[in-house]
Amino acid sequence: MPQYLNIGCGIHYSRATEWTNLDFSSKDKAVITHNLLEGIPFPDQQFELVYHSHVLEHFSKQDGEKLIRECHRVLKPGGILRIAIPDLETIARLYLKHLELAWENPESMSHDSGYQWMLLEMYDQCVRSESGGTMKQFLQQLSEKDADLVRERIGVEYQDIMDSLRQSRQKQQGVQGKIRMLARNILYKLLYHRNRYEKLGRFRLGGEIHQWMYDKYSLRKLLSENGFGQFEIMTAFTSKLPGWSNYELDGSQGETRKPDSLFVEGVRN
């Protein structure tokens, strides 16, 4: 039986018997709980494929390199490492494009929204100090007519995010929600100075923020320096692994789950 490993899987994993799923925390017996900063808890050369999606950017540059070395260790010779990450190159190019559009059309709310969103994609998840950051505030105020770029960038997850924000807002607008918010605000003011740094540190180390970003060049360099060759850029549905798309981890029915991604694969030397 082939052995495939999905690390940092979150809620996106396969229950097929050939898959082992691993994450920092788990609410499902199909996912093993493990602190990935401590390495991958399996013997050398056990797996034929290691996959992680939107995980590497949450590690520091140094810890990210350690993770890649661990992927190399647990892969068999000729095994495949498949990575999906936010594509820094695309973000930078789109930022410059929407900067020019907003500059040339200062009265256009649509172009302003496009510029604001690309700026948030570039910086917000790196610098935020609370869950959701400024990106959450932007989405709460975004009108549907100005949301085309955001829908294109987020893909199928856009509606889920907006529904979640809408439900949260409705709860806050209810009487019980207003009472809870008032109590929370009073408690926050009372404890602000004493707990401010502890709270910030706990959040910054909690795994939500992006600690590094990659493009195709830096990712190829990272893999080649740590024992991988045959670097190739893929799509959500293409892979060196036959039948990859059947697992529907990066997309299903022709729709990419995270269209803002750079999908790459390398082969263990």
> 160 pLDDT exceeds 80?
yes
- pLDDT digit string, tens, across residues 219-249: 999 999 999 999 999 999 999 999 999 999 9
Q: If pLDDT is split at 50, 70 and 90, which confidence band does 24 have? A: very high
Alpha carbon distance 92, 95 (integer Å): 5
Average pLDDT over residues 117-143: 93
Range of lowest pLDDT (16-25, 183-192, 205-214): 183-192
Average pLDDT over residues 176-205: 69
| Greater pLDDT, 109 or 178 | 109
Q: Is 173 left (phi over 0), alpha (psi -120 to 50) or beta?
A: alpha
Q: If pLDDT is split at 50, 70 and 90, which confidence band does 211 have? A: very high
Six-digit token string for 28: 């499902």
Q: What distances in angstroms separate CA 9 from CA 3, 19, 55, 175, 256, one per listed residue?
A: 16, 11, 8, 37, 16
DSSP element (H, E) containing 180: helix 175-204
Q: If pLDDT is split at 50, 70 and 90, which confidence band does 73 have? A: very high
Exposure string (b/e) for 206-233, b if CB count within 10 Å is 16 or more? eeebbbbbbbeeebbebbeebbbeebee
pLDDT of residue 146: 85
Question: Closest by alpha carbon to 52, among 74, 28, 76, 77?
Answer: 74
Average pLDDT over residues 2-10: 95
Q: Which residues contact 177 (CB under 8 A, 6 or more apart)?
A: 171
- pTM beyond 0.85: yes
Query: Which domains are present in the chain?
Result: 4-86+214-268 (3.40.50.150), 89-204 (no CATH)
Question: Closest by alpha carbon to 249, among 84, 87, 85?
Answer: 84
Average pLDDT over residues 7-17: 96
> 125 pLDDT exceeds 80?
yes
Exposure string (b/e) for 77-102, b if CB count within 10 Å is 16 or more? eebbbbbbbbbbebbeebbeebeeeb
Q: Which pairing describes strands 31-33 and 19-23: parallel, antiparallel, or unpaired?
A: parallel
| % of residues, the chain, pLDDT over 70 | 89
Q: If pLDDT is split at 50, 70 and 90, which confidence band does 176 have? A: low
Alpha carbon distance 53, 263 (integer Å): 9
Average pLDDT over residues 240-265: 96
pLDDT of residue 58: 97
Q: If pLDDT is split at 50, 70 and 90, which confidence band does 256 have? A: very high
Q: Which pairing describes strands 4-7 and 251-252: parallel, antiparallel, or unpaired?
A: unpaired
The per-residue pLDDT of the chain, averaged, comes to: 91
| % of residues, the chain, pLDDT over 90 | 77
| Greater pLDDT, 252 or 162 | 252
